[in-house]
Amino acid sequence: MQIDKPLVSILLAVYKPNEKWLIEQLISLNEQSYNNLELIVYDDCPEHPVNEELFNRNITNFSFKIIRGIENKGSNIAFEELTKVGNGEYFAYCDQDDIWEKDKISVMMEKFNDEEVTLVCCDLSIIDENSKKTHESIKDIRKRIVYKSGYGLAKDLLISNFVTGCAMIVRKDIALKAIPFLYELVHDQWIAIIAALNGKIEFVDERLVRYRQHSNNQTGILKGIYNKETYYNIKILELLRRYKSLKNRLYYDEEIEEHIEYCIKSLYIRKKYFINPTFAGIKEMIRYSDYYRVSILLEIFTPIIPECLFKIIIKLTKKGIL
């Protein structure tokens, strides 16, 4: 068979995978209609190594390689190591428990005919632990997600990431620019920001991945938040640390640096108000509310909201009701 398409490296990170789900994922990779692929796997759990026979049985249409980590370092490190060794001109990042539609790579690769495109992303449907579809689109559970295409989207991605790792393909040269990964961000958001700073993002309005939602993989901006204390730690302190790290890495872009400075100032104001709420603090919060308006509105009323009601608000938001 003549191969006239650029090589795409599928970069799969695994950690003690559910074998049934992994097999479903591998079958969907093996059945891809795109005809020039390789699979590179990083096993991040040396204590319970993934069974290589699963790959021998289910990956038969292209080559695969398994890299065994010597200690658990987390998904960001796993994907960074994979990024360093991919041979393809394009990288398709992959999780261990989803299902890819047959034409996922083929459809997305067409967008790279435009040489200005650095990254392509798509929508996802949602499946449950039994592989049954529960939602037509991830937008059904992440109400505030807004997909975008075009140039100059780094600021948008900083504020609200709309690129999901398993639903993106990125040019190799762009992915390598992202190394070392910024560990205050998930790998997909960081790579997407670098891609946006170097060219054009394209969104494919098709559900090309079946994203599996289960008890171990919360989706959404409120992951890890259950009460006022965890909200403060994650939505203010952790976000402040993130923007400080971003400032150190993205200093070369004046527009982004100005935006980061604004967000750092806003977060210091939010931190001060959370600790000591005053009417003057409310005025400052409103003054610096160009971004994260929903969060700031919630924080203005947080001091007078009982803890039990705050927990209910968080639960309803996670469920997509609010």
Q: pLDDT for 34-48, tens place per residue?
A: 999 999 999 999 999
Residues 272 and 137 in one domain: no
What's the rounded Cα separation, in Å, for the pair 318 and 193? 25
Is 217 part of any domain?
no
The string of DSSP letters for 187-212 reads HHHHHHHHHHHTSEEEEEEEEEEEEE
pLDDT by position in tens, the chain (length 322): 456 899 999 999 999 999 999 999 999 999 999 999 999 999 999 999 999 999 999 999 999 999 999 999 999 999 999 999 999 999 999 999 999 999 999 999 999 999 999 999 999 999 999 999 999 999 998 888 899 999 999 999 999 999 999 999 999 999 999 999 998 999 999 999 999 999 999 999 999 999 998 766 544 567 889 999 999 999 999 999 999 999 999 988 898 999 999 999 999 999 999 999 999 999 999 999 998 898 999 999 999 999 999 999 998 887 766 5
Q: What is the pLDDT of residue 220?
A: 56
Domain that includes residue 65, residue range: 8-212
Residue ending a domain, among 184, 212, 240, is 212
Residues 236 and 276 in one domain: yes
Residues 35 and 120 in one domain: yes
56: its two tokens: 């021998």
What's the rounded Cα separation, in Å, for the pair 177 and 254? 18
What's the rounded Cα separation, in Å, for the pair 7 and 172? 10
Neighbouring-strand partners of residue 150: 201
Is 167 part of any domain?
yes
Q: What is the pLDDT of residue 5?
A: 95
Residue 212: name the closest of 148, 169, 167 by CA. 167
Structurally, the chain folds into a number of domains equal to 2
Is 310 part of any domain?
yes
Q: What is the pLDDT of residue 164?
A: 96
3-class secondary structure per residue, 281-315: HHHHHHHCCCCCHHHHHHHHHHHHCCHHHHHHHHH
Residues 40 and 167 in one domain: yes
Q: What is the pLDDT of residue 268?
A: 97
Q: What is the pLDDT of residue 22?
A: 98
What's the rounded Cα separation, in Å, for the pair 190 and 184? 9
148-200 pLDDT, tens digit each: 999 999 999 999 999 999 999 999 999 999 999 998 999 999 999 999 999 99
Q: Are the C-beta atoms of residues 282 and 275 closer than 8 Å to each other?
A: no
Place of tokens 């100059």: 152
CATH number for 13: 3.90.550.10
Q: What is the pLDDT of residue 4?
A: 83
Q: What is the pLDDT of residue 241?
A: 95
Is 155 part of any domain?
yes
User: Which letter does DSSP use for residue 175 in this model?
Assistant: H
Residues 192 and 248 in one domain: no
Neighbouring-strand partners of residue 204: 122
Is 219 part of any domain?
no
